[in-house]
Amino acid sequence: MGASSGPRRLSGMQKQVLALYRGFLRAARSKPAEERKQIESVVCSEFRKNSKQVDRKNFIYIEYLLRRGKKQLDQLKSPDTVGLSSLSVDSS
């Protein structure tokens, strides 16, 4: 028998990250097809990169990334915004 007794619960921070990811994908749907693909690509690569590079116990940095992501999402939701660019920030 396995040691797992059911599905693992997500922490509050994990739920925030997933909600932010879904928010970006929803916002991308309101953009033209060409920009949508570019936005989805940037969002996917940024989240994937951060999932591999950021220590899961570095809560301060994760909170910073969440705040920055929410600001970028608010900008993306603006009808005047047509794209999203990748931005690298040193975690040290």
Residue type, 1: M
* Residue 71 or 1, more confident: 71
* Mean pLDDT along residues 25-53: 92
pLDDT class of 89 with cuts at 50, 70, 90: very low
For 16-34, write each residue's pLDDT tens digit. Answer: 999 999 999 999 999 888 8
Residue by residue, what is the 3-state secondary structure of 39-90?
A: HHHHHHHHHHHHHHHCCCCCHHHHHHHHHHHHHHHHHHHCCCCCCCCCCCCC
Tokens 């950021």: give the residue.
54
pLDDT class of 8 with cuts at 50, 70, 90: confident
Domain residue extents for the chain: 12-73
Q: Using CA atoms, how far apart are residues 65 and 61, in angstroms rounded to an integer?
A: 6
Say yes or no to pLDDT of 90 above 60: no
